[in-house]
Amino acid sequence: MIIRALIIYHSISGNTEMLAGWIQQEFEKIEVLVDYYTLTDLPNVDLSVYDIISLGTYTWGNGDIPREWDTFWPLLHDSHLPGTVFGVFGTGDTFYPNFCGAVTRICAQLESVVLVACALKVELQPQEQDRERCAKFTEVLVNRVSIDSYN
Ligand SMILES: Cc1cc2nc3c(=O)[nH]c(=O)nc-3n(C[C@H](O)[C@H](O)[C@H](O)COP(=O)(O)O)c2cc1C
């Protein structure tokens, strides 16, 4: 069975971009076909062709979702995604009281409309030990697709 994943991320200073790249690599290690876009250069994609959609973001303000995501929600709501498995990842800074608050908030926003299987929060620039966490993140998403396709 071929599994297709879409990664969409938003990054200003590169931490989330690096994390998105590592997640892409982990998907590819387990032979998932990956399409990879920045939020601001997202072409007109058909979300329904993907088994997995992973959204990556930094956090702004006080645990806020960056404004640029506002353009994505209408696309999501216009799509019919009953079997798509979502994962949300992001980088943040524990200096702030609401660490990776945008990840938490995007999960909460998604959970009313789609299936969110897991979230990954990383402190600033990903470190070598985070590779293992990226591998776990992709594994959970793929396992969830496999479970659903047997039911
Ligand atoms: C003005 C400002 C507000 C921030 N607020 C938060 C926050 O509430 N929670 C958090 O975890 N990180 C916060 N951060 C940290 C960024 O999310 C963090 O540096 C992130 O890794 C940046 O990602 P990027 O390199 O992909 O742009 C804030 C950073 C700035 C500059």
Question: Over the stretch 78-110, which tens digit does the pLDDT of each residue have?
Answer: 999 999 999 999 999 999 999 999 999 999 999
Give the C-alpha separation, 24 to 32, whole Å.
Answer: 9
CATH of domain 4-149: 3.40.50.360
pTM (2 d.p.) = 0.97
pLDDT number for residue 9: 98
Q: What ipTM describes this predicted complex?
A: 0.99
pLDDT for residue 133: 98
Tell me phi and psi for residue 128, to 5 degrees: -50, -40
Query: For 19-50, what is each residue's pLDDT tens digit?
Result: 999 999 999 999 999 999 999 999 999 999 99
Pocket test for ligand 1, best of 93, 105, 127 (most atoms within 8 A of CB): 93
Domain boundaries of the chain, sorted by first residue: 4-149
